[in-house]
Structure 1
């Protein structure tokens, strides 16, 4: 969204039209809305803004639920925004630490600030992009004087009145639509400044889950977060926000349930073992936090292969930190033989999971030409130099 579109939208007429248009679920809905709004004589900027926002509100439900229907977005801002359920957990850290007035430095569209304000915290927010800051101000307006939003860079912020800080450094090029990732050395604000701030006051720092582990300051708690199977972020906590004796954490959110495993350090891996009755796929947060060994010991499991994040066991145990599968059998791994075996078992719906092998599941599924009535999961992995294809059924 450009400033001209936002200016057209942030008027009584623009907001009324947005409410009237309602959610646009499909491209056909978008085309119909564009035609109708243009025929009514609305300006191109207003039509573009209204239709774009109506479409983004549909996409935003996954992160913001019912709140999305009253918010504004940019495409890039929505992609980078924290899920509201996760933002509420972050806010809980500040509240529990007694930090009731915080700075949100690089607030984006205001996703994290919504979580903070929703728990009764006062927030001083800023963003370096003028359009994004204006959208954040709109989204946070219901909280009144408890939240202020400025168009400013993080480094220029007056932090004398806050007791903690939250930062989400920009990890992509500037823009509201198509952006590309940048190297950590090009984050904004730069990481030297961010880590320096974390040494002077309690700070939470949101980063991508693939952030280089060697660049994490040793005195900081690192928490990786997975939500419904997707590893969404890494958060670094300093000062009063960091928990004593915890330096590695994996937080797993599944629907309304939340589970966490913590450690003072990376966990030692367990030994490899022969394929058992069950295969377990650790959550991405567990893998990133390098806590697979701790989870494996709880499951009485071993590694299928060195360097491959699949566990196997005979014990009928599972855990919120893994997805568990019961092994039916091992199948030959060449396309012709595999297709024949699946046809013989009447399998037409096949979930394909893989680790340690260079295959494209979508391409493999097309080559298999499945048409049966049954369903199953196929795990393709490697043991040494040998590929293995395991036909399995989900336990959890």
Structure 2
């Protein structure tokens, strides 16, 4: 658990003296190697302000790769862990551009920062007085008030919410155990334009949600699912995959697109779709867009004779019924010394399998283990390349 900030800490860190002290502390390495010596120096200079100064400095360093802007923000450990990455926050803000927006779980202001300058009016609220004070300091362009997320206090606004999924560094997976509970949040704003950030593993069908579910990935990692009420959803869209990169580029796919694909033997390539596509249940739609088809209708691996631009593909060298012995013999024949192992649909642990293959060659290959029908199949491929 991180340091437990107080309102007095926020006032001090926001002051000229606190700002000067943070600049001084930031000159220290604050690594595992220098930790004790650095803490001693800070304590000698700033006494009982040491914990707040050191924690803020370390949090700001971690925030540099996630928040924008972040260098002079005030943060807590839990708030930073749950904060939406800047690229994702800007994407969501773009969907409510020009509207009056109320973030009812604003925390330290990561979403508010993306909204300012994009939304017509930006309001943030939270029950935690410390995080609220930090948000007011971090995002001066927003109106910040203390309010319970389950008690509506604005009218004619788009409501954004991000129920807390962490407590003391531990994740909560039950929607009813979130803060505030997801079912209560949906009831409180029923009939309103509402967007709720959720964990990507959320069981959307169990919610009986009648709007859009958007699954978002960033740089290849699935980050979140976002519920959009019918008034904010795309026309005819129930599922959307949004694939973003840190440079701001990205693309989207929805279930409003066609999903008709052929039933054919494997092509020259195997393609593993982005996790957002898989989590959103849009594998067939992605295949139809790019002229691909599935190795098996129940498995997310795709195949075809070309790889979509910018996507990593695996050119098939050999395919055969999978057994550990057969794979070991084939990799030895191909002089394989390094093997990337991808698994889907079969009970194989790559970390356990790899040393048992006894690879001693010079070639680098990729191995895709899956099943076609009821048959476990191994595809030995050239090392994955990006088209």
- Give the TM-score, by structure 1 length: 0.83
Q: Shift in Å at residue 216 of structure 1? A: 4.5
* Residue of structure 1 aligned with 2:66, choices 63, 68, 71: 63
| 2-structure distance, mates of 1:354, 1:328 | 17
Could you tell me which of 78, 81, 90 is aligned with 1:79? Answer: 81
Aligned partner (choices 377, 381, 385) of residue 366 of structure 2: 377
Distance 1:351 1:14, change over 3 A: farther
Given that 1:299 and 1:319 are in contact with CA atoms closer than 8 Å, whether structure 2 keeps it comes out as no
- Would you say how many aligned residue pairs link Structure 1 and Structure 2? 379
Distance 1:49 1:388, change over 3 A: farther
Q: Which has the higher helix share?
A: 1
Name the CA distance, whole Å, in 1 between partners of 2:106 and 2:348: 39
Alignment of 1:260-339 (within 5 A): 260-264=252-256, 270=261, 273-313=264-304, 315-318=305-308, 323-330=312-319, 338=327
Assess, with a 3 A threshold, how the Cα gap between structure 1 residues 205 and 364 changes in structure 2: closer, same or farther: same
Report the CA distance between 1:210 and its aligned residue: 1.6
- Where 1:126 maps in the other structure, the secondary structure is strand
Question: Quick one: structure 1 residues 273 and 202, their matched pair in 2 at CA, closer, same or farther if it must change by over 3 Å?
Answer: same
1:187 paired with 2:181, answer: no
Q: What's 1:16 paired with?
A: 20
Contact map agreement 2:271 2:307 (CA 8 A) in 1? no
> Residue 377 of structure 2 corresponds to which residue in structure 1?
388
Corresponding position: 1:245 with 2:247: no
2 CA distance for matches of 1:350 and 1:17?
A: 51
In the aligned structure 1, how far is the partner of 2:358 from the partner of 2:189? 54
Aligned to 2:107: 108
Q: How many angstroms does 1:259 deviate by?
A: 0.5
Alpha-carbon offset, residue 242 of structure 1: 2.1
- C-alpha offsets along residues 3-37 of structure 1, whole Å, 9 cap, x if unaligned? 34945644544432322333858433545532432
Provide the secondary structure at the position in 2 that maps to 1:226: strand
Would you say 1:170 and 2:164 are equivalent positions?
yes
- Matched residue, 1:130: 129
Per-residue displacement from partner, 1:267-290 (whole Å, max 9, x unpaired)? 757565433210011111111221
Mapped to 1, the partners of 2:243 and 2:207 lie a distance apart of 21
Tell me the C-alpha RMSD between the 2 structures: 3.1
Q: Is the 8 A contact 1:198 1:238 kept in 2?
A: no
> Alignment partner for residue 204 of structure 1, among 195, 200, 203?
195
- CA deviation string 1:316-353 (max 9, x = no partner): 24156x64222233478566765665566565554332
Match of 1:90 in 2: 92
Give the match for residue 52 of structure 2. Answer: 49
Structure 1 portions without partners, runs of 5+: none
Taking the aligned partners of 2:145 and 2:33, their CA distance within structure 1 comes to: 38
- In 1, are the aligned partners of 2:63 and 2:70 still within 8 Å (CA)? yes
Cα shift at 1:264: 3.5
Distance in 1 of aligned mates of 2:195 and 2:370: 37
Task: Provide the secondary structure at the position in 1 that maps to 2:96.
Answer: helix
TM superposition shift of 1:63: 1.7
What CA deviation, in whole Å up to 9, does each residue of 1:233-285 have, x standing for no partner? 111222542222222211111343210112248x7575654332100111111
Distance 1:180 1:248, change over 3 A: closer
SS where residue 286 of structure 1 aligns? helix
Q: Alpha-carbon deviation of 1:229?
A: 0.9
Unpaired segments of 5 or more residues in structure 2? none
- Measure the CA separation in 1 of the matches of 2:52 and 2:306: 54
Structure 1 position 125, deviation (Å): 0.9
